[in-house]
């Protein structure tokens, strides 16, 4: 099960419908005074749609990815027009200046940071050049924060550090090899001695698998031989579908609830993790078959719902593209 032109059109239409939708909006903001009471589009002239800042960022990433994959598609010109309007030097400068406020040290850390770098990496010129100052600002935040982060964050939500490093690693590989090395060293410091993972998941509001996100970041950042040794210690029973919890799609009881619907995202992000980790195994490896089968089950459980109620529709399509767009 992979991305095709028809599904790309469907997902692009979802994102084009909300990237400029200013309300409803959940701001990540500390009010330092009454002068901070401004409209979302005034605070964030680039990323003021899609219910919240980070969802707007990754919706733009998804549009950039789909436009690159299907440049002749009907939505491609609309995406280009949106990028022309959004990625101006003036608007990006407002977004960057927002980060200079004393209260924004933790703004979107680390989830939004990582998605912004992934978006910048995906953009073509001239848009990439225009967004570059903001990307560098968030890269600087990674450089400053990682040495201070004594412990990883293992929750299955936005604060998960493994997911953030996975998203940001490719940007660092291209633009900042020293940051990539810092990410590798940090991941090993955080996760290198983990073994016999207990999958106490899902929690009721997860959209990320703590276990699989950890395995994926190690697959991304470690040399292949080191990863295989580590993975054998971390998840020794994958070939037999254990731990069962991560091989079983989550049940979503109410897709109008903005937190319960996270579980649709968990199903999609697990599928992405399984497929990416499976690339590390040879074709005849039973672990590969187990992971790819689990990925398909998780996609089937979530994909019909990516353009349903807005509590899911404002973000799930991006995770569908992560899961389906295999390169």
pLDDT at 327: 66
Q: Are 243 and 211 in contact (CB under 8 A)?
A: yes
Quote the CA–CA distance of 7 and 27 in Å, as a whole number: 30
pLDDT at 142: 98
- Say if pTM beats, i.e. exceeds, 0.95: yes
Distances in Å between the alpha carbon of 28 and those of 59, 112, 184, 264? 17, 11, 29, 23
- CB-neighbour burial class of residue 85 (10 A; exposed 0-12, middle 13-18, buried 19+): exposed
Number of residues in the chain: 327
pLDDT at 1: 82
pLDDT at 326: 77
Q: Are 42 and 98 in contact (CB under 8 A)?
A: no
pLDDT at 88: 98
List per-block mean pLDDT (blocks of 10 residues) for the chain, which spans 327 residues.
Answer: 95 98 97 95 98 98 98 98 98 97 96 99 98 98 98 98 98 98 98 96 98 98 97 98 98 98 98 98 96 98 98 98 90
pLDDT at 99: 96
With vertex at residue 267, the alpha carbon angle to CA 184 and CA 215, rounded to the nearest 5 degrees, is 20
Q: Are 281 and 288 in contact (CB under 8 A)?
A: yes
* Listed residue (62, 63, 323) closest to 208, CA to CA: 323
Collapsing DSSP to helix, strand or coil, 249 comes out as coil
């Amino acid at each position: 099960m992979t991305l095709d032109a028809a599904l790309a059109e469907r997902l692009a239409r979802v994102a084009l419908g909300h990237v400029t939708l200013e309300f409803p909006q959940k701001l990540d903001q500390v009010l330092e005074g009454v002068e901070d009471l401004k409209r979302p589009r005034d605070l964030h002239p680039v990323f003021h749609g899609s219910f919240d800042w980070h969802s707007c960022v990754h919706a733009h990433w998804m549009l950039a990815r789909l436009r690159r994959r299907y440049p002749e598609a009907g939505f491609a010109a609309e995406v280009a027009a949106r990028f022309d309007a959004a990625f101006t030097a003036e608007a990006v400068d407002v977004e960057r200046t927002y980060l200079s406020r004393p209260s924004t040290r933790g703004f979107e850390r680390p989830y939004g940071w990582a998605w912004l770098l992934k978006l910048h990496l995906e953009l073509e010129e001239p848009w990439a050049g225009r967004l570059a100052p903001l990307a560098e600002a968030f890269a600087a935040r990674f450089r400053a924060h990682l040495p201070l982060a004594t412990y990883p964050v293992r929750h299955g939500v936005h604060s998960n550090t493994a997911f953030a490093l996975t998203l940001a690693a490719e940007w660092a590989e291209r633009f900042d090899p020293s940051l990539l090395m810092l990410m590798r060293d940090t991941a090993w410091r955080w996760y290198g001695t983990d073994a016999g993972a207990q999958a106490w998941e899902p929690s009721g509001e997860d959209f990320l698998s703590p276990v699989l996100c950890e395995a994926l970041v190690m697959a991304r950042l470690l040399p292949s031989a080191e990863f295989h040794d580590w993975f054998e210690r971390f998840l020794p029973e994958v070939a037999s579908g254990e731990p069962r919890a991560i091989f079983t799609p989550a049940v979503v009881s109410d897709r109008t609830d903005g937190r319960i619907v996270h579980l649709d995202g968990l199903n999609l992000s697990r599928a992405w993790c399984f497929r990416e980790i499976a690339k590390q195994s040879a074709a005849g490896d039973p672990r590969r078959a187990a992971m790819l089968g689990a990925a398909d089950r998780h996609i089937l459980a979530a994909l019909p719902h990516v353009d349903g109620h807005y509590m899911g529709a404002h973000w799930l399509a991006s995770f569908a593209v992560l899961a389906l767009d295999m390169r």
